[in-house]
Amino acid sequence: MVDFSLKGKVALITGASYGIGFAIAKGMAGAGATIVFNDIKQELVDKGIAAYKEAGIEAHGYVCDVTNEEAVGEFVKKVTEEVGHINILVNNAGIIMRIPMLDMTAAQFRKVIDIDLNGPFIMAKAVIPDMIEQGGGKIINICSMMSELGRETVSAYAAAKGGLKMLTRNIASEYGKYNIQCNGIGPGYIATPQTAPLRELQPDGSRHPFDQFIIAKTPAERWGEAEDLAGPAVFLASPASDFVNGHILYVDGGILAYIGKQPGNE
């Protein structure tokens, strides 16, 4: 029988008060995992705990900035003492800044790299030693279409997510022998607060041009929902994927496979 169960496992999902992380955490809870999450503000952690409770999940929430190595070390130690050994890490926390490269400051570029790439490195470095002690573990890095493709105004984000793809492969290469599987999920365009500006209705009530562009670029002809990512995440967190390592699983409705709707075929 294929084992998709996460019963008895502790899953830590970063930045999971809402959005994709929240949906992945709900999916993992449904598969039996104990949920731990963090956010950078206590008020968001409190809101997250209430939202999980409303979904029937007793989640453990902590305030922690994934870019702060000392705070992350204390966070992981606290979780291990208070909840249990971390079996599954989902590096979900991330930001985007949509600024033309020539207008972007080095400080802005560094901030995106720090959260979207250094953060996953710091989190993985903090959990791997105990995963080795425990005989294995699962790390899932939330990558992006921008791990493969560029577009105007997202240079820092694409550089970070491209780097995160290779960090995923490197963790798989370096720690696979300890029964640690490190894989990525590459979501397509998902309807969350992060992409809300790309979906805003225009003053005349028409759809945002980018919204129309994505619909034309997606064979599924829709934006993804955060819930679309829960199943792939449970698969990569479960024993069913024990021989999958260093893989980026794109959950994009077919965008990467499709040249885009030809004019006149709308």
Q: Which stretch binds ligand NAP (CB under 6 A): 12-20, 123-131, 175-183, 240-248?
A: 12-20
CA dihedral angle for residue 60, residue 63, residue 67, residue 73, rounded to 10 degrees:
-60
> What is the residue whose two structure tokens read 């409190």?
46
Cβ-proximal residues to 196 (8 Å cutoff; 6+ apart), any chain: none
Work out what residue 98 binds among ligand NAP, ligand GCO, none; the CB cut-off runs from 5 to 8 Å by kind: ligand GCO
Residue 67 interacts with ligand NAP (CB under 6 A)?
Answer: yes
> What is the residue whose two structure tokens read 């970070």?
160
Work out what residue 17 binds among ligand GCO, ligand NAP, none; the CB cut-off runs from 5 to 8 Å by kind: ligand NAP
Which one of 126, 190, 237, 249 is in contact with ligand NAP (CB under 6 A)? Answer: 190
Residue 115 interacts with ligand NAP (CB under 6 A)?
Answer: yes
Would you say 50 or 196 has its CB closer to ligand GCO?
196
Q: Respond yes or no: is residue 178 known to be catalytic.
A: no
Q: Which residues are catalytic?
A: 157
- Where does this chain bind ligand NAP (CB under 6 A)? 14-15, 17-21, 38-41, 44, 65-67, 92-95, 115, 119, 142, 144, 187, 189-190, 192-195
